[in-house]
Homo-oligomer: A and B are copies of this chain.
Amino acid sequence: MKWTGKLALSLRLMAIAAIFAIPATVAAQDVLPSWNNTAAKQAIIDFVAKVTDENSPHFVPVEDRIATFDNDGTLWTEHPMYTQLSFALDRVKVLAPGKPEWQTQQPFQAILANDLKAVAAAGEKGLAQLIMATHAGITTTEFEAIVQDWFATAKHPRFQQPYTQCTFLPMVELLEYLRANGFKTFIVSGGGIEFMRPITLGAYGIPAEQVVGSSIKTKFEMQDGKAVLLRLPEIDFIDDHEGKPVGINRFIGKRPIASFGNSGGDREMLQWADAGEGLSLKMLVFHNDAEREYAYGPADGLPDTKFGAFPQDLMDEAKQKGWVVIRMKEDWKTIFTFEK
């Protein structure tokens, strides 16, 4: 080959390299654009590369690429209170005219007087009464319509955006990125399963049948010859702490290889993912950005909270076991979907 031939070949090789290199570069820039280029983002990309590479010892077939996500505080904001609690409080106000006895009964009296401290003082018993009064006694079809109507108009008190826009954009990107790599994405939340389902497809691209959550009992009945399911004022299942692996096993029947949470209630879910045989990714969102969202712990000296507490011993366990802590302030370029 003459040197001109070599030059031509070399130019051609460069051109071919460029063809392959350019999309690769673009792709790397495009992946998870709302994440800063920190170790957290790199951990996700490295993990996905390994489990999707057929030549890797860590390769996982598509049917076992199960990823589970907590919802409150992991996929959307959970302050100043859980979204479902906002719904329940609003619901009390809607139902109050037909319930004169609530004017003198706690926690209803406190809710109607907008006295949130007195609501909190009613404790777990008050909360249970609140949930049963606002979530039960109607059919599943009626409840679904009520939830949909509420989400269509309710707004987050600080951000003044629909709650379905108060999702975390980096996590929505992560869901899409995992699905683009053959993962099946599930929500595994302490929140009410029938409260989430009407909005998860629109908000997260997660269909109703891939939502696991807490539930109240339902009862099958024929009403005027037509089958209905009546929502009963009785707890069926609490999908929190050790309930999360139990719920994952019941609903999904496979162990997740990637699991994402943000509070003490997610610890057992991450331990369950961790106990799998192959490589797995465990991540916890840490809310340390009071300016753009909220800052709470009590880990790392941040203020304690009633909604989604991240205790110090969870932070210690994460460090010891190599679970990745996502620090919102440092790891996320953009926080909310409504900022897009």
Contact = CB atoms under 8 A, between A and B. Distances in A.
Interface of A: 63, 66, 140, 184, 186, 193-194, 197, 201, 207-211, 215, 218-220, 222, 226-229, 236, 242, 245-246, 249-254, 268, 271-272, 274-275
Contact of A218 (B201, B246, B252): B246
A251 B207 CA distance: 12
Contact of A227 (B228, B252, B272): B272
A220 B208 CA distance: 25
Given A220-B272, A246-B220, A253 B63 contact: no
A249 B222 contact: no
Given A209-B184, A271-B222, A272-B220, A251 B253 contact: no
A113 B151 CA distance: 62
Residue from A66, A186, A208, A228 whose CB has the most chain B CB atoms within 10 Å: A208
Given A63-B201, A209-B254, A220-B268, 9 more contacts: A209-B210, A215-B250, A220-B246, A227-B245, A227-B275, A228-B275, A229-B245, A229-B246, A236-B250
A67 to B, nearest CB: 12
A188 to B, nearest CB: 12
19 contacts: A66-B209, A140-B249, A184-B209, A194-B253, A208-B253, A209-B210, A209-B254, A218-B246, A218-B250, A220-B242, A220-B268, A226-B275, A227-B271, A227-B272, A227-B274, A229-B246, A229-B272, A236-B250, A251-B251
Contacts of A186: 209
A311 to B, nearest CB: 17
B220 A253 contact: no
A268 to B, nearest CB: 6
Contacts of A219: 242, 246
A268 B227 contact: yes
A209 B252 CA distance: 4
Contacts of A194: 253
Contacts of A222: 271
A253 B229 CA distance: 12
Contacts of A208: 252-254
B249 A218 contact: yes
A279 to B, nearest CB: 16
Contact of A193 (B220, B246, B250, B254): B250
Nearest to A221: B242
Contacts of A246: 218-220, 229
A251 B222 CA distance: 21
A199 to B, nearest CB: 12
Contacts of A254: 208-209
Contacts of A207: 63
Nearest to A270: B227
Contacts of A63: 201, 207
Contacts of A252: 208-209
A209 B186 CA distance: 10
A31 B19 CA distance: 41
A203 to B, nearest CB: 14
A185 B146 CA distance: 28
A113 B207 CA distance: 50
